[in-house]
Structure 1
Amino acid sequence: MHLLISNDDGIFSLGIRTLANTLAQAGHQITVVCPDRERSATGHGLTLHKPIRAEQVEGIFQPSVMAWACSGTPSDCVKLALGALLNTPPDMVLSGINHGSNLGTDVLYSGTVSAAMEGVIEDVTGIAFSLTSFSSKDFQPAANFAQRLVAYLAANPLPQPMLLNVNVPAVPVEKIAGVAITRQGLRRYIDQFEKRIDPRGKTYYWLAGELLEDVPQPDLELVVTSQTRLGEASGTWLNQMMTDVQAIRQHYITITPLQYNLSCAHGLHHLRDWTLSVE
């Protein structure tokens, strides 16, 4: 398979090197297009007011891997690859392996997840991989799982392009409880801005959020369509599924399907009887 790989930790990160080299060793055609430096927490940001530059790099990955370092955001990288650098669309867009988890509401800020979502926007399945630790440097178990997941999807294609958000617990392989299909959970942070003074006497602020681990996990809001054929009974069992936040605590590898459609079904139901006028 032809796999496009990006990330938000930059071209020199150990996570993307481990992922790209592992998949190349498995016989896949690998193209890497990722930021030339760390671009974490950029979300779905795009570069609009200055040029985007991409330079081909050598000596970082295995010789069979074609790699570019891009001056833009993770989303820029994937858009540039799909729109200019690649002659044909890839079979999948992969992102990661991120240094740190992307669970629950983290996905709204994550450059890793946004890079994979760019593939879905262009009708290509995307997978975001994250290792749930900022200190661990053992990305190989996550890369090995990525290889197995890609092989499984090749043999069992998804019914339509979607984003799979994968988080791998940073524990020894023998302590991983298994693989869990999960729904998106909720993580809350207490945002604390530290006020500081620079050497020139100017005030600046440093964001230092504190994670609240034990928060109630939300129900899954269903959008019932003729395609999904989901009804009230389906909603019951779906809401009984673990969230990604819950499953990671139990040392499961989590796979959470995500979409870019943020329409609020409850809101549409509530607003449908509104009678507003322009005057």
Structure 2
Amino acid sequence: MTLRALITNDDGVDAQGIHVLTEVALAAGLDVTVAAPHENRSGTGSMLSALEQGGRLLYDRVEVAGVKAFAVHASPAMIAFVGVRGAFGDVPDIVLSGVNHGANTGQAVIHSGTVGAALTAANHGVPGLALSVDGWPPQHWDTVRAETPRVLRWFAEARAGLFAVNVNIPDRPLDQVRGPKPAGFADFGVVQAEIGDPGEGFVTMAFREPGEHAGPGSDLALLRQGWTTVTAMRQPIVAEPALPPGL
């Protein structure tokens, strides 16, 4: 049976990463539907936002990698939310999100629109795969084209036992990439925020790289070593059957 894949991202429908991902998915024989934000919606996490008129979710028809696509006036999580309910055609078997321009690592993935789309899909019963490439702007799309099919084949076969998966590909020549490797989350993302002195009506912020220490076995540490990192994510909320004694 041919798998149906909904492809989205947070960089916008015109971004190179979603064109590459669509090309790879088509080459893998997937039945592809592309629905992505009409403009950049990075950093939106799992936010369900849309530009509505009279309760309508707006979209434009465009083309991505030769496929008729939806440029949706909404966040990627919103696109995944309605997409797994058949808003853009048949209900997909999997949701693919990316390829994001820039890595999504560590606990900071909670803020990523790329990861948010995959988590939202999975939380509503459809396994989600988030893919990102390190580097801004990315330089080695040939590496992405080579690494993505390996991960995609594994994900398609293992999807029944998965919730959502986060993948980061090194932005370096293919002969310098060491292949896929399971990874835990670093305690922080690719950058860290620092709060400066407050002023009248404002607070200053600065962003910097977190330095050399990223924790052994973490996605950020392994990505720096040239591994394509693969991190399985469980459901964000697990309901306990009863309250603790004495509460």
TM range (shorter): 0.7 to 0.9
Q: 1:177 maps to which residue?
A: 178
Superposed displacement of residue 97, structure 1: 0.5
Tell me if structure 2 keeps the 8 A contact 1:97–1:143. no
5+ unaligned residues in a row in structure 2: which ranges?
none
Are positions 1:250 and 2:225 aligned together? yes
The CA deviation string for residues 114-148 of structure 1, in whole angstroms up to 9 with x for no partner, is: 01112201211111000011122332322332222
In 2, Cα distance between equivalents of 1:216 and 1:272: 35
Q: 1:106 maps to which residue?
A: 108
Structure 1 pair 215/152, CA: closer, same or farther in 2 (3 Å)? closer
Tell me if structure 1 keeps the 8 A contact 2:214–2:221. no
% of aligned pairs identical? 26
5+ unaligned residues in a row in structure 1: which ranges?
197-201, 218-240, 266-270
Are positions 1:69 and 2:74 aligned together? no
SS at match of 2:83: helix
The CA deviation string for residues 43-93 of structure 1, in whole angstroms up to 9 with x for no partner, is: 1111278443112213xx233x23100111111111222224233221210
The one-letter code sitting in structure 2 at the alignment partner of 1:57 is V
Larger radius of gyration: 1
Equivalent pairs counted in the alignment come to 239
Q: 1:232 maps to which residue?
A: none
In 2, Cα distance between equivalents of 1:12 and 1:98: 12
In 2, Cα distance between equivalents of 1:146 and 1:192: 37
Structure 1 pair 144/90, CA: closer, same or farther in 2 (3 Å)? farther
Q: Once superposed, what is the RMSD of the aligned Cα atoms? A: 2.8
TM-score of the pair, normalised by structure 1: 0.76
The one-letter code sitting in structure 2 at the alignment partner of 1:272 is P
Q: 2:15 maps to which residue?
A: 13
Superposed displacement of residue 112, structure 1: 0.3
> How do 1:195-274 residues align onto structure 2 when only pairs under 5 Å count?
207-215=205-213, 217=215, 242-262=217-237, 272-273=244-245
In 1, Cα distance between equivalents of 2:238 and 2:52: 32
SS at match of 1:34: strand
Tell me if structure 2 keeps the 8 A contact 1:184–1:243. yes
Superposed displacement of residue 102, structure 1: 0.5
Q: 1:92 maps to which residue?
A: 94
Q: 1:231 maps to which residue?
A: none
TM-score of the pair, normalised by structure 2: 0.84
In 2, Cα distance between equivalents of 1:136 and 1:194: 34
Which structure shows the bigger proportion of residues in strand conformation?
A: 2
Tell me if structure 2 keeps the 8 A contact 1:8–1:35. yes
In 1, Cα distance between equivalents of 2:79 and 2:197: 32
The one-letter code sitting in structure 2 at the alignment partner of 1:56 is R
